Amino acid sequence: MTRYEKRYGRKIYAVDLFCGAGGLTHGLGKAGIDVRLGVDIDPACEYPYTANNDAKFLLKPVEELDADELRRYYKRNGIKLLAGCAPCQTFSTYNQKATESDKRWWLLLQFSRLVDELRPDLVTMENVPRLIEQNVFDQFVTNLERKGYSVNHQVVNCADYGIPQQRNRLVLLASRLGTITLMSPAEFDKKPQTVREAIEELPTLAAGSSYLQDRLHQSSILSELNLRRIRKSKPGGTWRDWPAELVADCHKKKSGKTYPSVYGRMTWDEPSPTITTQFFGFGNGRFGHPEQDRAISLREGAILQSFPKDYKFVPPGEQVYQKVLGRLIGNAVPVALGEVVGLSLLSHVWQATGMRTGRPQ
């Protein structure tokens, strides 16, 4: 019997839909939840998911899943959790073209279908804040409530939970065991972690180079023009700090002046900006290293997403593709946020079962 089981009683077993590279699974596992299966349609997710987590991986579209395929991964006497983060690009502020005809728009309802079929004790979902404005989210919440779940959802800033990144996310928890809430930052007594605290100790890199002992610690090549630009960039500044001859033509236009956050450096003593799927490119946001003349490396992006420094993303001997790894890292649920969710679920189960029995089971 594990220490968690001795303290809290029945163990929580989970399936992670849209599992990606395993950020949520890894965080739930650190909290003490036994995630048994991750499901995703991206083959690139399988290696990092299985290499870092004690769980199986199923390569399959969620809309083709049925409850029987998932039910066997739960133990009969355990508490069942269904977790997931449906692809968020549809609802992101970066995507101005998405409409309800986008197939991804309705993946949340496939998640809802599986909740109906499985009837898990607990449900959790993480997504971008704009989802809360959409009818599909209202349908998801309403369906949970009609099925007897207590539902709590809120937008949180990951930095408030000690994650070295300004990242606002919508977190939903639902339970059939009783009223549920996400634990507050005050309950964790965390201070925002800075970029310096997270990545300063990593080896120095030049643009376009990599560190032999960690292939993920590699940075993108910069053109001569962009090298000149980054050398004129200030931490926390913008392209407006550059001499006129370095400013891109598109930024000189009236419409371009509203995008000051591209071609910028991070600041050492603050959390990083939101890590997107394009974080490895200097021109894609404020992704310049605070001091070195380059964009942050893949490993640095992963650490700012609170992945462990030794998290494996690519099999030994295989080539590292920046666009693939950028997608996996940028789309991930920060590991530390997954741990917050997991600890909130464990605390809830302890309180809910204690209310029924007068003591933790």
208-236 CB burial, b ≥16 within 10 A, e <16:
eebbeeebbbbbbebeeebbbbbeebebb
- CA 262, chain centre distance (Å): 22
Helix (H) or strand (E) holding 267: none
Structure tokens at 102: 């986008």
Cβ partners under 8 Å of residue 177, min gap 6: 79, 121, 122, 348, 349, 352, 353
Structure tokens at 205: 């890199």
Q: Residue 345: exposed, middle, or buried by beta-carbon count in 10 A (0-12, 13-18, 19+)?
A: buried
Structure tokens at 223: 């053109």
Residues serving a catalytic function are 88
Cβ partners under 8 Å of residue 339, min gap 6: 27, 28, 30, 31
Query: How far is the C-alpha of 360 from the C-alpha of 347, rounded, in Å?
Result: 11
Q: Residue 200: exposed, middle, or buried by beta-carbon count in 10 A (0-12, 13-18, 19+)?
A: exposed
Query: How far is the C-alpha of 79 from the C-alpha of 337, rounded, in Å?
Result: 21
